[in-house]
Amino acid sequence: MVRVYNASKINICVQSNVYNTGLNYRTFTIPACRAFMISDYRKELGELFEEGKEVVSFRKKEELPEIIDYYLAHPERRERVALNAQHRVLEEHTYTYRIKRIFDVMKEVI
């Protein structure tokens, strides 16, 4: 998958339509590979990544062609967003970080 993500100028990440909430694993694996991602909007996405700086999202499918055209025309911007997203994933969205965070919260509660 790493080769596929990195071979693509733009990776489209569409979350499950079954739920109007939640994120799938591609939300983290694509940026971890330093690959550029456009995702459909989810509230949780904005809680984990900074819109426009670390992630790009669309609310209506009709917006997607314009967003794609913009980022194809601005490769330096696309690469900057991908790099920022990779940094965020490696700093805050690894299993090691999450487990440490769980233990920290448990210490506060106990």
Q: Return d(Cα 16, Cα 12) in angstroms, integer.
A: 13
DSSP for 52-79, please give it: TTTBEEESSGGGHHHHHHHHHH-HHHHH
Query: What span, in angstroms and rounded, lies between the C-alpha atoms of 86 and 62?
Result: 27
| CATH code for the domain in which residue 12 is found | 3.40.50.2000
List, for residues 27-66, the tens digit of each pLDDT value: 999 999 999 999 999 999 999 999 999 999 999 999 999 9
How many domains would you assign to the chain? Answer: 1
Output the pTM of the full model: 0.85
pLDDT of residue 18: 58
pLDDT at 21 over 80: no
Q: Which residue range forms the structural domain that includes residue 85?
A: 2-109
pLDDT at 45: 92
Q: Are 22 and 43 in contact (CB under 8 A)?
A: no
Could you give the percent of the chain with pLDDT greater than 90? Answer: 72
